Structure 1
Amino acid sequence: MVEPPMKVSKHDLSIINQSIDTVHEMGTQIRKALEEYSDEHTHNTAWEVQAGVEALEVFGSRWTIEILAALYVAGERRFNELRHLLNGISSRTLSDKLRKCTDSGLIERIVVDGPPVRVSYRLTEHGIICGRLLGPLVAYMKIRNGALEEDV
């Protein structure tokens, strides 16, 4: 757990918890809607599991979540700025992961002609949407892990 926990006002914690509850309810509605299209042949449980795994596969790779979180929280960053934000990542690994995230449409590589040539990275609209959708889950886990609590 990160220390010390972030302290937020009772009002803001209430807003965060209400948002988490809303997302939870929406997840239940989505699951129920998709169940209506499940069948025993083509779109059975195994198909649904595999489709879910494939949809989330990009997030399962080591360093991907860290890179996406850094860009979501800190905004557009240059390569070395990202490397310093991500403790322990090698330049080669960062380069490989940035390429994979770019290929999957989550990150945009911006090149500004020089001299010197400047390269930076930022989330695409797809990456921003993913960040916003994951935000309630991240907040829930921060509360559950004790990293976010009410300031008393």
Structure 2
Amino acid sequence: MTCNPEFQTDRKKEMMAVHDAMDVLNGKWKIYIISSICHYNKRRFSDILNDVIGISNKMLSKELKELEVNKLIKRTVLDTHPVTVQYELTKHGKTLQTIINDLTDWGIRHRREITGKE
């Protein structure tokens, strides 16, 4: 039995899209960082550092720069003393909100399934 060549092409395109998404969101921390910003709309560096348990200052800085390069977050320097830096999702980054909410809901249901606790 042979597969329809159009079907194979469509599946390859879909897999490439998943690959592209995972390439942007790869690593241990990006989803956590996006989630922190997503749930609070705007977050300071120190807030994200507190939200993402186990991440170092250096790693958070690196990941935030990568998310900014990929146009998922916007960095704003506020004119305060000392200087405050605030992060928020871009319009493009906000397209991940549904995914983050779905991941959150799934995680809650999964924990209940595994632990048997409500």
Q: Same fold (TM over 0.5)?
A: yes
* Pairs aligned (count): 112
Letter in 1 for 2:88: R
Deviation, 1:40, is 6.3
Q: 1:99 to 1:46 in 2, by over 3 A?
A: same
Q: Which runs of 5+ in 1 are unaligned?
A: 1-37
Question: Do the aligned partners of 2:35 and 2:100 also contact (CA within 8 Å) in 1?
Answer: no
- The alignment's TM-score, normalised by the length of structure 1, stands at 0.62
Higher RCO, Cα 8 Å, sep 6+: 1
Letter in 2 for 1:130: L
SS at match of 1:39: helix
Give RMSD over aligned pairs.
Answer: 2.6
Aligned partner (choices 120, 127, 144) of residue 110 of structure 2: 144
Deviation, 1:88, is 1.1
- The alignment's TM-score, normalised by the length of structure 2, stands at 0.77
Q: Which has the larger radius of gyration?
A: 1
Q: Which runs of 5+ in 2 are unaligned?
A: none
Work out the percentage of aligned pairs sharing the same amino acid. Answer: 27
Deviation, 1:130, is 0.7
Aligned partner (choices 54, 63, 68) of residue 102 of structure 1: 68
CA deviation vs aligned residue, 1:109-129 (integer Å, no higher than 9, x gap) = 011234432211111122222
Deviation, 1:64, is 0.2
SS at match of 2:86: strand
Q: Runs in 1 of length 4+ with deviation above 6 angstroms?
A: none
> Partner residue of 2:44?
78
Q: 1:143 to 1:46 in 2, by over 3 A?
A: same
> Partner residue of 2:6?
39
Letter in 2 for 1:39: E
Structure 1 segment 15-94 matched on structure 2, within 5 A: 39=6, 43-94=9-60
Aligned partner (choices 82, 90, 94) of residue 128 of structure 1: 94
Q: 1:62 to 1:150 in 2, by over 3 A?
A: closer
In 1, Cα distance between equivalents of 2:100 and 2:50: 24
In 2, Cα distance between equivalents of 1:40 and 1:143: 34
Deviates most, 60-69 or 117-126:
117-126
